[in-house]
Amino acid sequence: MDAATARSRITEAWEKVLGHTDFTDDDDFFAVGGDSMGAILLVRKLNKAGVAVELADLMTEPTVAALVAAASAEPDGPERPQLRRIPR
């Protein structure tokens, strides 16, 4: 995914999860009102929007800029296995 598309989708998801637009690309998600449940919701929204980031990416570097870099980076290792839902 190109960086401009990733940034747009990530910013939109932050706005929805945080409930405001008072943040910059370099602000820490948790410092501007995010919490652990919001982080899980954010990653889920991003994945549904086609932005390939993981919770570990957000926990390690919780900024829009870092997530854009993670989402637009070329994979440099083996592909991680995809989780699938097991019917109950």
Report pLDDT digits (tens) over 13-35: 999 999 999 999 999 999 999 99
Mean pLDDT of the chain: 89
What is the percentage of the chain residues whose pLDDT exceeds 90? 73
Alpha helices in the chain (DSSP H): 3-18, 36-48, 55-60, 64-72
- Three-state DSSP at 79 gives coil
Amino acid at 45: K
All domains of the chain in start order, with CATH: 3-72 (1.10.1200.10)
The model's pTM is: 0.81
Contact present, 76 and 10 (Cβ < 8 Å): no
> Has residue 74 got a pLDDT over 90?
no
> Has residue 75 got a pLDDT over 80?
no
| Burial grade of 4 (CB within 10 A; 0-12, 13-18, 19 or more) | exposed
Closest alpha carbon to 7 in 70, 83, 81, 58? 70
